């Protein structure tokens, strides 16, 4: 320390030198304590010591030091204010309030240091309940000023709670009553409402309402406030209102800046409004503003959500000078995966050579494979993850399983499911594997997958059960068993799959008709193919009377019979010796352009 510290010319010269090292609080504290040796006995207020500890937010050390110093020093309000600020940063709001009380008592006028109290309020950040405790003290002392209100309003922005924004508005109204609000007050309230969980999803009108209230107060909003208002619309997906506010900005003698355009661009990211995003990019060029990477990211993402992969690629190329980040790359990759899988895979390969990819990059590449049913390529991409020190997540696993299912590789899909870490799987993973089993009509693995869901603490969906029923073409009893366990009751797809399972088994016409009756009783509207299944089953069992009843129900539903249904009707009428019915259905077939029925006609 002797080598570090220059020769002191006064009691605090060494401490002043120590302040040049803000991260070396131990040395600064030591120098502050050494300064007491150069002062007369009992002099000094301990503020330098408290400031040294406060820089590192060591509230326990600060309180311990405070307790020791006040045994031989008469500490002033500055020392207590410093400890109050330190305890506030650590979230110790009760202790902070106690130190402010002591600071007020040590004040010569008996009034608190409002500036220090406001600093303590701001130190709580988004912990607005704790900040409100300090504010309540200032309010009870009748010293709360505009900064106090604005600081507390700004703290009411907890994204985890759905009602902190309401406190922000209440404080704003309270500040109006005491004439302690300004443009900063409104800006703080807008930021709070934008960050709040409820406001971000529903109350997009908040920004417009506050701006209107601001005009009534005859306050001139600045570009920061307008940016906050536009941002509130972006968070609530109200892109049209964001655009409206952006267009009104010049009328209030405020010129939009990069922050304003960035907020508006974020609103376009949430809807199918990629053309507006491109229009904003043109406005930036006209104003000779260079878009930053964040604005490019938002514009590229807007084009991606609008499935405009060409525009996404063009914007990416335009941002080459700005070195687009991985967010831009992933957005372009996702857009290409939806519109041009060949380019997507080529772009993915190029990116892998230029930069470090993340799991979202691999997810987009797997999505491209899924669209083209490139199951081998998907497995190759999935196998590359460990080499990149990445771990497959639910999305990547589900996409790979879905790709194998679409390609008809049900065994590979099931193996992928078995090899995937348990915590990564969800019901979509099982549904993809069940769909693969359904396409292959493999009912045994399908039933096994369905029975495994409860063991994984997963709830089977209607899609899960429907795929299992479709797989049970060779086992109608299992199909009917699964049908009875469909969550929230079987739907049209469930009944159609069960009907096909019964139709595939000879002599199951009674079960088929019973299913058809249950189908109609469930208020589902049968289609022609549904009636055709019942008619075919009845015809195979020579149950002509049942065929006639189904034909009557088909006509009552005002459905147009298919060719297969009409041909079955002709056969049923022929064997049932209903000549008029035969002639009517023959005319129907001739009207549909069907010939070659000479044998039936002769009968």
- Tens of pLDDT along 69-120? 665 555 656 666 666 677 666 666 567 666 667 666 666 665 666 776 777 7
Question: 204, 233, 268 — which closes off a domain?
Answer: 268
Task: Confirm whether 452 is domain-assigned.
Answer: yes
- My answer on whether 137 and 20 are in the same domain is yes
Taking the CA of residue 272 as centre, how many other CA atoms within 13 Å lie in the half-sphere pointing to its CB? 3
- My answer on whether 154 and 91 are in the same domain is no
Give the DSSP H or E segment for 576. none
- My answer on whether 524 and 487 are in the same domain is no
CATH number at residue 247: 1.25.40.10
- My answer on whether 187 and 176 are in the same domain is yes
Question: 101, 119, 144 — which closes off a domain?
Answer: 144
Domain range for 243: 145-268
Which of the four pLDDT bands, split at 50, 70 and 90, describes residue 484?
confident
Q: Decide if 32 contacts 11 (C-beta within 8 A).
A: no
- Where does residue 231 fall: left (phi above 0), alpha (psi -120 to 50 degrees), or beta otherwise? alpha
- My answer on whether 600 and 515 are in the same domain is yes
- My answer on whether 560 and 478 are in the same domain is no
- My answer on whether 1 and 26 are in the same domain is yes
- pLDDT for the residue numbered 549: 74
The pTM (predicted TM-score) of the whole model is 0.62
Distance (Å) of CA 154 to CA 65, 164, 180: 32, 11, 15
Greater confidence, 409 or 154? Answer: 409
- My answer on whether 208 and 76 are in the same domain is no
Report the chain's C-alpha Rg in angstroms.
37
Task: Give the count of domains, the chain.
Answer: 4
Give the integer Cα–Cα distance in Å for 45 and 68: 13
Task: Confirm whether 361 is domain-assigned.
Answer: no
Tokens of 386: 């460990």
Q: Decide if 208 contacts 195 (C-beta within 8 A).
A: no
For residue range 441-479, list pLDDT tens digits in order.
Answer: 999 999 999 999 998 889 999 999 999 999 998 788 898
* pLDDT at position 206 over 80: no
- pLDDT for the residue numbered 118: 73
Task: Confirm whether 220 is domain-assigned.
Answer: yes
How many CB atoms within 10 Å of residue 224? 17
Task: Confirm whether 434 is domain-assigned.
Answer: yes
- pLDDT for the residue numbered 307: 85
For residue range 274-298, list pLDDT tens digits in order.
Answer: 888 888 888 888 888 888 888 888 8
- My answer on whether 18 and 113 are in the same domain is yes
Percent of the chain with pLDDT strictly greater than 70: 52
For residue range 13-53, list pLDDT tens digits in order.
Answer: 444 434 444 445 555 555 555 555 544 444 444 555 555 55
* pLDDT at position 199 over 50: no
> 345 CB contacts (<8 Å, ≥6 apart)?
365, 368, 369, 377
Among positive and negative, which fits the CA dihedral 415, 416, 419, 420? negative
Residues 213-218: what's their mean pLDDT?
61
Question: 268, 283, 302 — which closes off a domain?
Answer: 268
Task: Confirm whether 524 is domain-assigned.
Answer: yes
- My answer on whether 132 and 149 are in the same domain is no
- pLDDT for the residue numbered 345: 95
For residue range 514-539, list pLDDT tens digits in order.
Answer: 777 777 677 676 677 777 777 777 66
Give the DSSP H or E segment for 444. helix 443-452
- My answer on whether 464 and 570 are in the same domain is no
- My answer on whether 585 and 513 are in the same domain is yes
SS3 sequence of 226-246: HHHHHHHHHHCCCHHHHHHHH
Counting beta carbons within 10 angstroms of the beta carbon of residue 257, is it exposed (0 to 12), middle (13 to 18) or buried (19 or more)?
Answer: middle
- pLDDT for the residue numbered 330: 92
Task: Confirm whether 280 is domain-assigned.
Answer: no
Averaged confidence pLDDT in the chain: 73
Counting beta carbons within 10 angstroms of the beta carbon of residue 128, is it exposed (0 to 12), middle (13 to 18) or buried (19 or more)?
Answer: buried
Give the integer Cα–Cα distance in Å for 385 and 352: 12
Give the integer Cα–Cα distance in Å for 245 and 243: 5
Counting beta carbons within 10 angstroms of the beta carbon of residue 208, is it exposed (0 to 12), middle (13 to 18) or buried (19 or more)?
Answer: middle
Greater confidence, 186 or 590? Answer: 186
Task: Confirm whether 403 is domain-assigned.
Answer: no
Task: Confirm whether 233 is domain-assigned.
Answer: yes
Among positive and negative, which fits the CA dihedral 513, 515, 518, 524? negative
């Amino acid at each position: 320390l002797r080598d570090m510290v220059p020769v002191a010319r006064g009691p605090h010269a060494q401490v002043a030198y120590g302040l040049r090292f803000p991260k070396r609080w131990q040395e600064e504290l030591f120098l502050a304590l050494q300064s007491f040796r150069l002062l007369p006995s009992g002099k000094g207020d301990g503020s330098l010591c408290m400031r040294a500890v406060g820089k590192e937010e060591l509230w326990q050390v600060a309180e311990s030091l405070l307790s020791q110093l006040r045994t031989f020093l008469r500490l002033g309000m500055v020392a207590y204010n410093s400890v109050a600020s330190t305890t506030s940063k650590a979230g110790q709001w009760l202790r902070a309030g106690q130190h402010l009380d002591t600071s007020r008592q040590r004040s010569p006028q008996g009034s608190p240091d409002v500036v220090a109290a406001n600093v303590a309020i701001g130190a709580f950040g988004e912990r607005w309940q704790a900040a409100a405790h300090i504010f309540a003290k200032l309010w009870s002392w009748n010293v709360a000023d505009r900064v106090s209100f604005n600081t507390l309003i700004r703290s009411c922005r907890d994204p985890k709670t759905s009602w902190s924004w309401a406190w922000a508005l209440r404080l704003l109204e309270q500040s109006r009553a005491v004439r302690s609000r300004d443009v900063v007050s409104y800006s703080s309230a807008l930021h709070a409402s934008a960050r709040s969980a409820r406001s971000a999803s529903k109350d997009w009108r908040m920004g417009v309402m506050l701006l209107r209230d601001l005009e009534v107060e005859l306050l001139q909003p600045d570009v920061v406030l307008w940016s906050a208002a536009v941002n509130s619309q972006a968070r609530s997906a109200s892109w049209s209102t964001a655009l409206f506010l952006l267009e009104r900005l010049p009328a209030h003698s405020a010129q939009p800046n990069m922050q304003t355009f960035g907020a508006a661009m974020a609103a376009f990211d949430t809807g199918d409004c990629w053309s507006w995003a491109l229009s904003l990019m043109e406005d930036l060029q006209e104003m000779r503003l260079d878009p930053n990477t964040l604005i490019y990211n938002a514009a590229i993402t807007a084009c991606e959500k609008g499935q405009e992969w060409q525009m996404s690629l063009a914007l990416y190329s335009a941002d080459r000078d700005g070195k687009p980040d991985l967010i831009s790359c992933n957005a372009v990759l996702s857009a290409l995966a939806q519109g041009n899988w060949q380019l997507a895979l080529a772009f993915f390969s190029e990116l892998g050579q230029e930069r470090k990819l993340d799991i979202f990059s691999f997810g987009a590449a797997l999505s491209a494979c899924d669209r083209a049913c490139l199951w081998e390529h998907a497995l190759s991409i999935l196998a590359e993850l460990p080499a990149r020190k990445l771990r497959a997540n639910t999305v990547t696993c589900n996409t790979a399983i879905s790709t194998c299912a679409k390609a008809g590789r049900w065994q590979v899909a099931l193996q992928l499911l078995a090899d995937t870490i348990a915590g990564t799987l969800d019901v979509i993973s099982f549904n993809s594997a069940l769909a693969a089993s359904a396409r292959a009509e493999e009912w045994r693995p399908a039933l096994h997958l369905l029975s495994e869901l409860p063991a994984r603490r997963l709830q089977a969906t209607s899609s899960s059960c429907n795929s299992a029923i479709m797989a049970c073409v060779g086992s109608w009893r299992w199909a009917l068993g699964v049908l009875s366990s469909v969550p929230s009751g079987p739907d049209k797809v469930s009944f159609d799959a069960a009907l096909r399972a019964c139709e595939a088994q000879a002599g199951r016409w009674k079960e088929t008709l019973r299913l058809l009756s249950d189908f109609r009783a469930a208020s589902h509207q049968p289609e022609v193919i549904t009636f055709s299944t019942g008619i075919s089953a009845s015809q195979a069992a020579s149950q002509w009377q049942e065929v006639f009843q189904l034909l009557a129900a088909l006509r009552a539903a005002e459905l147009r019979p298919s060719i297969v249904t009409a041909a079955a009707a002709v056969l049923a009428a022929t064997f049932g010796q209903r000549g008029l019915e035969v002639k009517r259905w023959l005319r129907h077939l001739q009207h549909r352009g069907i010939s070659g029925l000479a044998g039936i006609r002769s009968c």
